[in-house]
Structure 1
Amino acid sequence: MKKVLAFAFLIAVLVLSKEAYSIGIMAEGYARETPPGPSMSAAFVSLRNTGDSSQVLTGVELPGAEDASADLHTTVSENGINRMRPLDQVTIAAGASVEMAPGGLHLMIKGLRLQAGEQLSLRLLFADGSSVDILVPIVRIRDEGEHHHHHG
């Protein structure tokens, strides 16, 4: 059974990697487990545009989670108080990267309980009509530093 699951995971990675490569966007990330209380959490994705033209991220979907939603958000400081604000889009210039991180740009996940140790399927939607599907690990909030990568 483990071999079947490993093979299925390998095929999924290869298919998703090919799709991401075709539009010049490479993506990886993680999501936080849902804390007690309302079903809200966040996902953080690093996006790298390897293409020759800008790509504009306009939204995100949660395949298989019809009752849940995800939105682009950022955190801004107003009078010393941090507040989350929705964003309509995020532009990734050709050859550039965008890093989502706690306290800044992120994907707000609503209506879905995320459990550490599982994976979350994200569909990143772009202005040109293309999309990239990725799977991100769900981590405990105290362990998230292990999953935040800086690329140079």
Structure 2
Amino acid sequence: MKKPALSEWILLVSALLFVAKAHAVNPDLRVDGYARETPPGAPMSAAYLSLHNTGAKDLLLEAVELSGSQDGGADLHTTERSEGVSRMRPLKQVAIAAGQQLQMAPGGIHLMIHGLRLRAGELLPLRLVFNDGSSLEVQVPVVGQGTAEKEHHHHHG
């Protein structure tokens, strides 16, 4: 039987390290949040997260995905106000400094949820993806349109 060449071992170890990094979990983040139920006739809804970076390194949130076998998607957005008019703009990434908290809110940074009808009482599973390859699975409750944001509770996945 032929022994694997050194280059084959290096390639195998490199591939395993890449897979391990791609599936790393970010333990330095505490998450709270909620999503709004999809309004009747609307194609999308919004979710708002509070992200507290408890680690010593800055984090860069690059994507939010619907986890599991969900249809649709989630995109980072911000609302900007200019000359009395509010406009939404997509964000490529959001920084969360070490020891700091990012508070998403209506009229500011938020997640646009599209292609999925959210109903009050459900849990929305999300996967937060960071620039270092780490990720974090969370579940946020879906609340009714008239529910005050202080009534929500967080769920870690």
TM-score (norm 2): 0.77
Q: CA deviation at 1:66?
A: 4.6
Question: Residues 141 and 152 of structure 2 are in contact (CA less than 8 Å); yes or no, is this contact kept in structure 1?
Answer: no
Out of 103, 107, 112, the position equivalent to 1:108 is 112
Alignment of 1:87 with 2:58, yes or no, is: no
1:26 aligns with 2:30: yes
Quick one: structure 1 residues 148 and 139, their matched pair in 2 at CA, closer, same or farther if it must change by over 3 Å?
Answer: closer
Q: Residue 63 of structure 1: CA displacement? A: 1.3
Counterparts of 1:148 and 1:84, CA distance in 2: 24
User: Mind listing any 5+ residue stretches in structure 1 that lack a counterpart?
Assistant: 1-18
Counterparts in 2 of 1:84 and 1:65: CA distance versus 1, 3 Å: farther
Gaps of 5+ in 2: 1-24
User: Which TM-score applies when normalising by structure 1?
Assistant: 0.80
Give distance in 2, aligned partners of 1:37 and 1:58.
30
- Cα distance change on mapping 1:136 and 1:66 into 2, 3 Å: closer
2:126 aligned with 1:122:
yes
Q: Which amino acid aligns with 1:97?
A: Q
Corresponding position of 2:75: 71
Q: CA distance change for structure 1 residues 145 and 67 in 2, over 3 Å: closer, same or farther? A: closer
Quick one: distance in 1 between partners of 2:86 and 2:151? 24
Please report the RMSD computed on the Cα atoms of aligned residues, expressed in angstroms. Answer: 1.5
Change (3 A) 1:66 1:136: closer
1:136 partnered with 2:140:
yes
Q: Quick check: 1:32–1:144 contact (8 Å CA) kept in 2?
A: no
Aligned to 1:15: none
Question: Paired residue for 1:44?
Answer: 48
Structure 2 residue aligned with 1:59: 63
Corresponding residue for residue 16 of structure 1: none
In 2, Cα distance between the equivalents of 1:144 and 1:118?
16
Displacement after TM superposition at 1:109 (Å): 0.3
For 1:103 and 1:129, the matched residues in 2 are separated by 29
